[in-house]
Amino acid sequence: MIDFYHVTKRFDRYSIALHDVTFHADKGEFVFLTGPSGAGKSTILKLILRQLLPSEGQIVVNGRNLATLKRAQLPLFRREIGMVFQDFKLIERMTIFENLSFVMTVLGVPPRDHKKKAYAVLRAVNLHHRLNAYPPQLSGGEQQRVAIARALINDPYLIIADEPTGNLDPDLSADVMQIFIEANLRGSTVLLATHDREMIRRTGRRVVHLEKGRVGEERPQQAPEVPDSPSTFMQWGSL
């Protein structure tokens, strides 16, 4: 699903964000990308979305070599990836429904399907009753759930998230993590950048550890404290 082969990313002569990074994530896998601030986590996510191109090495996502991806193919490639950000990136002047409808519009989803799809994804994140609210009227956790709903709207095969719980307290983080795990259980590959060690420990998924732009030791999958089931995840969240 995701293959990095000896990827180096230099921004200038003295600023090397990634150095000879090689890692792999299987289809349907849930992988944490971790490391201290400035380790290169966000750079990896930007490379996967092809917001950046590597200085050296090759990146293959879902069988596509990103170096050979033409600019015109980029929108279609990105439509298959759901992206979630730490700062939610919701449009504040739009209601929750409008935020989702806006994305569906630019993706070319017929307008008659907008309400149905918006309701379905918001139901999945348990926010179907807040369709007409504006983002600032929601809590941080709710806003992040809307952002995840937006990422899920096109049924992506890959979800990448950049510190999605970075602005949330532990309880809200658990809610958000539950949604990622549910999406993963439905078949989406999830690559989640975080430095929340407690979250990683409890979730017990594979970790790719970055340190100063290099991949450190890949920790083997630990037995999760929580079973891989959405229904029991909530119990874990309330611990």
Do residues 83 and 149 lie in contact, with contact meaning Cβ atoms separated by under 8 Å? Answer: no
Tell the smallest beta-carbon distance from residue 78 to other proteins (Å): 4
Which runs of E-coded beta strand occur in the chain? Answer: 2-12, 15-25, 30-34, 56-61, 64-65, 81-84, 158-162, 189-193, 206-211, 214-215
Q: Interaction with other proteins in 8-67: which residues (CB under 8 A)? A: 49, 51
Alpha-carbon distance 222 to 238, whole Å? 21
Tell the smallest beta-carbon distance from residue 95 to other proteins (Å): 5
Interface pattern 170-209 for other proteins (x via CB under 8 A): ----------------------------------------
- Kindly state whether residue 167 participates in binding other proteins, applying the rule CB under 8 A: no
- Kindly state whether residue 83 participates in binding other proteins, applying the rule CB under 8 A: yes
Among residues 5 and 134, whose Cβ is nearest to other proteins? 134
Among residues 94 and 124, whose Cβ is nearest to other proteins? 94
Tell the smallest beta-carbon distance from residue 111 to other proteins (Å): 4
Give me the DSSP letters along 85-133: -TT----TTS-HHHHHHHHHHHHT--GGGHHHHHHHHHHHTT-GGGTT-
For 146, the 3-state DSSP assignment is helix
- Kindly state whether residue 108 participates in binding other proteins, applying the rule CB under 8 A: yes
- Kindly state whether residue 93 participates in binding other proteins, applying the rule CB under 8 A: yes
